[in-house]
């Protein structure tokens, strides 16, 4: 028989529940309810594009018969016997990349000469026809294994232009051949995070129509997490030069319909399009040496040169793709490794210390009110795109005020946007309080994932970052102040007039007898 006392308690609790719930929720202050984030502004990056952008830098590996014939563009007629890297160690390549701060590597699986670094079943012009590993080697497989072990993302370049295959120039036949080779690469070697191809082709070569749309669909089908690079995307675009230099204004927004692989306007590629309907961020490719393949007569760029390129690529909302070619032994050369390590040390010295992070921050407004920590200005000191400062809606002033609590010297500004919410900022500037007056230090245009602006050294306790124009309410995920003691601009002091450095307006520094003139 049911227990009457139990049923009695149950009936009392059921009747009391509506009253209890009502009292509970009425006790919650309205301010405790979470404020929804602002509406993202289109276009937006895909998940794979976000991962690509967060990686910041990738290492390009140009390797093949050209390495042994002292060539850049092979003819496609060099004997496979020339390819014999007796000390090849792909794990060394990966280790060098990781130690230098690169999180992905991209290999020229097939360059223009048509020689395949894997044993393709569609051609006899590959490693299986070489003396290396007695014809049983596979460079792609060794690199894929090394990258997986080290936790480094792998990308592959398969050149559309092929100077060896007789079917090149026969549209249907060659497109089938290319898709066959692409399928081999994307089904044999695990996860491929980037597929790299371009429209490079020498003058006077055979006419050839590439079925890019079919290629792209196949790539996304076989490797859905891979981004595809080309002059026109679809996922990442060429910056328009081979110097690793982006435009000082650089949008991830782009109109793919305005771009043609092999024939895109370099200026359009460099700057992107503030009215673009597609999200196609830019990749800046440059070689550590004068050539793309290793040549004994060439030396690597200095760490300072690499640092300058970093500011103009990764510091302008792009990914830096730095080519470091293995030598004829199959190893990355010691002098290249030294330059990479010095480059890493320069970056560490400059960016490991955010001079702003101990400062006091206030904002012109905060979404949801000044007590809403969800969109607090202090979020800009967290190194994550998923936390950010957001102003109140429909405001005219967008300002972050910073009190460093003591006078500090600095010459680099770092700003980042939460790009998963869209790219927003059109124009901004930094001011310092000097002599009782606010003075403009530097102005910039686009921000995107990361913007680094250098300027002659200034000193102040009070600063303000002002967003002048934005496509929607601006959002800031990170703000940093740094001291670069290595770039030439850091050697001057005092401010009087305005000049332009790297496409950004800065204050000219008047040299005194102890300083050098800032050069631009």
Burial per residue of 371-403, b for 16 or more beta-carbon CB atoms within 10 angstroms, e otherwise: eeeebbbebbbeeebebbbbbbeeeeebbbbbe
pLDDT band at 489 (very low <50, low <70, confident <90, very high): low
Same-domain check for residues 457 and 312: no
What is this structure's pTM? 0.88
Gap between the Cα atoms of 201 and 271, Å rounded? 24
CB 95 within 8 A of CB 144: no
498 in any annotated domain = no
pLDDT band at 264 (very low <50, low <70, confident <90, very high): confident
Give the residue carrying structure tokens 């979470």: 34
Burial class of residue 57 in the structure, from the number of CB atoms within 10 Å of its CB (0-12 exposed, 13-18 middle, 19+ buried):
buried
* Of 10-19, 88-97, 420-429, the least confident: 10-19
The DSSP result for 109-131, as a single string, is EE-TT--BSS--TT-S-BGGGSS
Dihedrals phi, psi of 276, to nearest 5 degrees: -65, 145
Same-domain check for residues 231 and 332: yes
Same-domain check for residues 331 and 378: no
Same-domain check for residues 305 and 381: no
Which residues, other chains included, contact 297 with Cβ-Cβ below 8 Å and sequence gap of 6+? none
> Has residue 227 got a pLDDT over 90?
yes
- Render pLDDT for 409-437 as a digit per residue (tens, 0 to 9): 999 999 999 999 999 999 999 999 999 99
15 in any annotated domain = no
Gap between the Cα atoms of 350 and 457, Å rounded? 13
9 in any annotated domain = no
> Sign of dihedral through CA atoms 152, 157, 158, 164?
negative
Residue 436 region by backbone torsions, left for phi larger than 0, else alpha for psi between -120 and 50, else beta: left
- Render pLDDT for 465-480 as a digit per residue (tens, 0 to 9): 999 999 999 999 999 9
> Has residue 7 got a pLDDT over 70?
no
pLDDT band at 77 (very low <50, low <70, confident <90, very high): very high
> Has residue 500 got a pLDDT over 90?
no
Same-domain check for residues 383 and 298: no
> Sign of dihedral through CA atoms 73, 75, 76, 80?
negative
Average pLDDT over residues 97-110: 98
Same-domain check for residues 327 and 471: no
* Of 99-103, 156-160, 318-322, 514-518, the least confident: 514-518
CATH number at residue 369: 2.60.120.260
- Nearest to 273, CA basis, from 256, 257, 292, 253: 253
265 in any annotated domain = yes
pLDDT band at 202 (very low <50, low <70, confident <90, very high): confident
CATH number at residue 223: 3.20.20.80
Burial class of residue 319 in the structure, from the number of CB atoms within 10 Å of its CB (0-12 exposed, 13-18 middle, 19+ buried):
buried
* Total domains in the fold of the chain: 2
> Has residue 305 got a pLDDT over 70?
yes
Same-domain check for residues 125 and 193: yes
160 in any annotated domain = yes
Same-domain check for residues 222 and 241: yes
Residue 6 pLDDT: 33
- Render pLDDT for 140-174 as a digit per residue (tens, 0 to 9): 999 999 999 999 999 999 999 999 999 999 999 99
> Has residue 306 got a pLDDT over 70?
yes
The residue among 352, 369, 390 that closes a domain is 352
- Render pLDDT for 326-384 as a digit per residue (tens, 0 to 9): 999 999 999 999 999 999 999 999 999 999 999 999 999 999 999 999 999 999 999 99
* Helix-helix angle 171-188:139-150, to 10 degrees: 40
279 in any annotated domain = yes
With vertex at residue 88, the alpha carbon angle to CA 101 and CA 103, rounded to the nearest 5 degrees, is: 15
Give the residue carrying structure tokens 């000219």: 508
Q: Which residue has the higher pLDDT, 517 or 267?
A: 267
43: cis peptide before it, omega within 30°? yes
Q: Which two tokens stand for residue 307?
A: 């640092």
> Has residue 292 got a pLDDT over 50?
yes
Same-domain check for residues 126 and 257: yes
> Has residue 9 got a pLDDT over 50?
no
The residue among 336, 352, 368 that closes a domain is 352
* Of 49-53, 205-209, 506-510, the least confident: 506-510
81 in any annotated domain = yes
Same-domain check for residues 136 and 280: yes
**Domain with 365 in it:** 360-482
Residue 200 pLDDT: 86
Question: Average pLDDT of the chain?
Answer: 89
Residue 133 pLDDT: 98
> Has residue 69 got a pLDDT over 70?
yes
Same-domain check for residues 346 and 288: yes
Same-domain check for residues 326 and 402: no
> Has residue 485 got a pLDDT over 90?
yes
Three-class DSSP category at 369: coil
21 in any annotated domain = no
The residue among 294, 317, 352 that closes a domain is 352
- Nearest to 194, CA basis, from 140, 237, 146, 155: 155
* Helix-helix angle 139-150:90-99, to 10 degrees: 40
Half-sphere exposure of 411 (CA within 13 A, CB side): 24
């Amino acid at each position: 028989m049911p227990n009457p006392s139990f049923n009695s308690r149950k009936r009392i609790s059921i009747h009391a529940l509506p009253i209890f719930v009502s009292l509970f929720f009425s006790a919650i202050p309205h301010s405790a309810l979470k404020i929804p984030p602002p509406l993202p502004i289109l276009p937006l990056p895909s998940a794979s594009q976000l991962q690509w952008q967060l990686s910041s830098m990738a290492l390009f590996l140009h390797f093949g018969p050209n390495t042994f014939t002292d060539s850049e563009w092979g003819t496609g007629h060099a004997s496979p016997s020339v390819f014999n890297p007796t000390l090849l160690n792909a794990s060394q390549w990966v280790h060098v990349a990781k130690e230098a701060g690169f999180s992905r590597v991209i290999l020229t699986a097939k360059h223009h000469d048509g020689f395949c670094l894997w044993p393709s079943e569609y051609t006899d012009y590959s490693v299986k026809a070489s003396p290396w590993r007695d014809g049983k080697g596979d460079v792609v497989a060794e690199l894929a294994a090394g990258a997986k072990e080290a936790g480094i993302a792998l990308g592959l370049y398969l050149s559309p232009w092929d100077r060896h295959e007789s079917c090149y120039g026969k549209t249907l036949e060659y497109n089938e051949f290319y898709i066959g080779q692409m399928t081999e690469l994307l089904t044999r070697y695990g996860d491929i995070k980037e597929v790299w191809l371009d429209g490079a082709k020498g003058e006077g070569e055979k006419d050839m129509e590439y079925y890019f749309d079919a290629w792209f669909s196949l790539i996304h089908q076989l490797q859905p997490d891979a981004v595809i690079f080309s002059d026109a995307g679809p996922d990442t675009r060429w910056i328009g030069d081979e110097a690793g230099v982006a435009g000082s204004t650089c949008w991830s927004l782009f109109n793919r319909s305005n771009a043609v692989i092999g024939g895109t306007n370099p200026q359009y590629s460099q700057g992107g399009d503030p009215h673009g309907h597609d999200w196609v961020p830019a990749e800046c490719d440059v070689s550590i040496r004068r050539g793309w393949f290793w040549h004994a007569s060439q030396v690597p760029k200095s760490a300072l040169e690499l640092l300058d390129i970093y500011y103009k690529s990764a510091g302008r909302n792009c990914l830096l793709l730095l080519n470091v070619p293995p030598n004829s032994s199959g190893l990355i050369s010691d002098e290249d490794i030294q330059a990479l390590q010095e480059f890493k040390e320069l970056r560490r010295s400059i960016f490991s210390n955010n001079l702003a992070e101990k400062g006091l921050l206030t904002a012109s407004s905060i979404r949801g009110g000044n007590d809403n920590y969800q969109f607090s200005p202090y979020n800009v000191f967290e190194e994550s795109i998923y936390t950010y400062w957001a102003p109140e809606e429909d405001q005219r002033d967008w300002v972050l005020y910073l009190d460093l609590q003591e006078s500090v010297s600095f010459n680099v500004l770092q700003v980042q946007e939460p790009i998963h919410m869209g790219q927003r900022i059109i124009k901004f500037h930094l001011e310092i309080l000097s002599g009782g007056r606010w003075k403009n230090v530097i102005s910039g245009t686009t921000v995107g994932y990361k913007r680094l602006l250098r300027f002659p050294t200034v000193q102040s306790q009070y600063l303000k970052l002002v967003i002048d124009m934005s496509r929607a309410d601006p959002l800031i995920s990170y703000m940093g102040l740094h001291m670069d003691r290595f770039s030439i601009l850091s050697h001057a002091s005092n401010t009087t007039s305005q000049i332009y450095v790297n496409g950004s307006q800065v204050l000219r520094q008047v040299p005194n007898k102890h300083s050098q003139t800032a050069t631009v």
